[in-house]
Amino acid sequence: MVHLTEDERIWLQVNYPQLNYDEERSIINGTFPINHTYRGCTIKDKFEILIPLWQMRNRNEYPVVFNTDGRINNIAKRKKIDCIDLHIGENKRLCLGLPERFEEYYPSGFDIQTFCKHLSEHLYWVSYFERYNKEPWPAELHGNCAKIEFLIEKQEIEGLRKLYKQITGRGIAKQKLRNYLCSAKLTNSLKNKLFKYERCNKNSI
């Protein structure tokens, strides 16, 4: 279980007075306002959230965040797109990022200030999409597609081999993977092949 430190509690109260922190249960809930600017476009908005910090095993993982009033799910419904395309599940839980990329967002582990900045950017993306029907920047992929992209980016041969077999049902030699990763053209070919398999697997469920 993760609890906010005294300094974090004070910072949260000063900077986000519409959020309540239940110290005993280690839960944050209330209205989360955003006032974020990207490439000259400022958006002010607010979202109702619930963050059960007690569900975190430690500070080396994303907290669980729910959009309690279902607004983001309703945006998806109104725009006739899948909820996951707005980075939220049917259960109103936000998808904050690929677990393997946690350290990119939190190089020193979870802290409330970094988290609020991350959440503000995340919700800005949603709010921008709601208003303009397009994404302000390319979003992170989901599920195995996100893992594929990450493993290729990091040149993690062994992890990629395991995922390749999981997705295609067939093994692949390490040297063949290395050959794929030695040129941009072959890398894109591998990525597209695995993305295609992954879409086919989902469609067959």
| Weakly modelled stretches of the chain, pLDDT under 70 | 198-205
* Predicted pLDDT at 139: 85
Question: Nearest-CA neighbor of 62 among 92, 31, 89, 94?
Answer: 94
Q: Are 127 and 32 in contact (CB under 8 A)?
A: no
What does pTM read for this prediction?
A: 0.83
Please check whether residue 82 is in contact with residue 90, taking contact to mean a CB–CB distance below 8 angstroms.
no
Considering the chain, what is the average pLDDT of its residues?
91
Round to whole Å and give the CA distance between 146 and 101. 10
Q: Looking at residue 179, what is its pLDDT?
A: 86
In percent, the amount of the chain with pLDDT more than 90 equals 63
